[in-house]
């Protein structure tokens, strides 16, 4: 890869009421700026990945599939008012197909188990589903950045070790530097020092929420809609006063002139990430059949039992021939497992007492 920098922290309109850029505009803009690869890391959502993957591939842009996850301060199961409504951000990227499947697991459990205002994961889940994932420490709302801004430096080192124990060499200190935000300079400096002390690589990002600098006002209005505020309200969530556009490579080189390895590490990560998705393949859960059976033979047996039950042990020759024909069609198309799965959950629904 000849690029000097790759954006690894990018939001699209699938970051609901937070990202302004539509994928159909994001991909060509990245190509226009000379990027060879681009990540998609929407807030708590992977809904945009199929569209992003297809459009990026069609444009000759390497797609890096990820998510900006919400991390519960303790357990995803804890949902205490004014404690667990606060959460950290963590940037997760799929290094391979196993990593992509683990991201899907994390995101699913975030919604089904950890949802409290936002879909949240926790470190217990990260330990279980970390394989094939590259983790960046997050934006200014990341756990390490938050602790730095609170001057809790001893705790920062303790938490860094927790992440390293989970991700090992696949953990990077994310430098979320925006020159208009003084806090980001403090975090950048502290993380660079932390990286040197513990030999942890740093990587440059530029938290992207819209395409061009002049989109900032429209994005601010959208944020006000999200929070139910007026744009004139002073005490509200806003990114006003800072740039969160898709930053050109030349600008990134200027911002990180003091830390060029942070730029080269973004390219290194992009090269490590290689996920191939096959949208033309039917993916079904595995259905376990008894010893000595195949999905086809088990389906035939269940159908024979059902036929006897439906026709009081006396099915007509026409019904028998029709069943034989239908089973042959199912066998040829390879859908026996599908029918077994469907009958399984239908029977469960009929017998389960709510």
Query: Can you tell me whether residue 350 is helix, strand or coil?
Result: helix
Q: Are residues 268 and 299 in the same domain?
A: no
Task: State the pLDDT confidence band at 286, using cuts at 50, 70 and 90.
Answer: confident
225-268 pLDDT tens trace: 988 888 888 888 788 788 999 999 999 999 999 999 999 999 99
Query: Does residue 353 have a pLDDT over 80?
Result: no
Q: Please check the confidence at residue 276 and state whether its pLDDT lies above 80.
A: yes
DSSP 3-state of 242: coil
Neighbours of 42 (CB within 10 A): 22
DSSP character string of 327-350: HHHHHHHT-HHHHHHHHHHHHHHH
**Shared-domain flag, residues 81 and 230:** yes
CA nearest to 268, candidates 176, 345, 347, 172: 172
Q: How many residues belong to the chain?
A: 354
The three-state secondary structure class of 91 is strand
Q: Which two tokens stand for residue 234?
A: 């002073």
**260 and 327 assigned to the same domain:** no
In this prediction the pTM is: 0.86
In a domain, 140, yes or no: yes
Residue 227 has a pLDDT of: 85
Residue 285 confidence (pLDDT) = 80
What does the pLDDT average to over 74-90?
94
CA distances from 309 to 296, 347, 352 (A): 20, 15, 21
**Distance between CA atoms of residues 292 and 303, nearest Å:** 18
DSSP code of residue 173: E
Residues 181 and 308 in one domain: no
SS3 category, 104:
helix
Check whether 104 has a pLDDT greater than 90. Answer: yes
Same domain? 146 vs 197: yes
Q: Which domain holds residue 314?
A: 295-351
Rounded Cα gap, residues 171 and 177, in angstroms: 18
* E strands, 163-307, in order: 171-176, 202-205
- pLDDT at position 5 over 90: yes
Q: How much is the pLDDT for 354?
A: 63
Q: Are residues 62 and 185 both part of a single domain?
A: yes
Residue with tokens 């017998």: 351
Taking only the tens place, the pLDDT of each residue in 107-160 is 999 999 999 999 999 999 999 999 999 999 999 999 999 999 999 989 999 999
Average pLDDT of the residues in 1-22: 94
């Amino acid at each position: 890869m000849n690029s000097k920098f790759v954006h690894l922290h990018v939001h699209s309109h699938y970051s609901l009421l937070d990202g302004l850029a539509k994928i159909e505009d994001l991909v060509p803009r990245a190509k226009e700026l000379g990027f060879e690869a681009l990540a998609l890391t929407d807030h708590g959502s992977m809904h945009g990945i199929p569209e992003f993957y297809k459009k990026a591939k069609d444009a000759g842009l390497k797609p890096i599939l990820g998510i900006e996850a919400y991390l519960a301060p303790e357990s995803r199961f804890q949902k205490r008012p004014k404690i667990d409504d606060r959460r950290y951000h963590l940037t997760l990227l799929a290094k391979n197909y196993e990593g992509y499947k683990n991201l899907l697991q994390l995101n699913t459990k975030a919604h089904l188990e950890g949802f409290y205002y936002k879909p949240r994961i926790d470190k217990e889940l990260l330990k279980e589903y970390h394989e094939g994932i590259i983790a960046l420490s997050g934006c200014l709302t990341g756990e390490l950045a938050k602790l730095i801004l609170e001057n809790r430096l001893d705790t920062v080192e303790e938490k860094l070790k927790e992440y390293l124990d989970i991700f090992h060499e696949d953990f990077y200190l994310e430098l979320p530097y925006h020159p208009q935000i003084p806090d980001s300079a403090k975090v950048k400096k502290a993380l660079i020092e932390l990286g040197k002390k513990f030999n942890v690589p740093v990587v440059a990002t530029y938290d992207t929420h819209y395409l061009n600098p002049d989109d900032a006002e429209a994005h601010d209005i959208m944020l006000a809609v999200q929070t139910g505020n007026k744009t004139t309200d002073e005490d509200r969530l806003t990114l006003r006063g800072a740039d969160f556009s898709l930053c050109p490579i030349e600008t990134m080189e200027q911002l990180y002139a003091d830390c060029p390895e942070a730029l080269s590490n973004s390219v290194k990560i992009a090269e490590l990430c290689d996920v191939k998705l096959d949208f033309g393949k039917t993916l079904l859960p595995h259905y376990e059949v008894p010893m000595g059976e195949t999905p086809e033979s088990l389906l035939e047996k269940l159908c024979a039992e059902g036929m006897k039950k439906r026709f009081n042990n006396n099915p007509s020759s026409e019904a028998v021939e029709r069943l034989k024909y239908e089973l042959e069609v199912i066998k040829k198309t390879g859908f026996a497992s599908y029918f077994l799965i469907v009958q399984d959950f239908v029977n469960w629904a009929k017998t389960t007492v709510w």
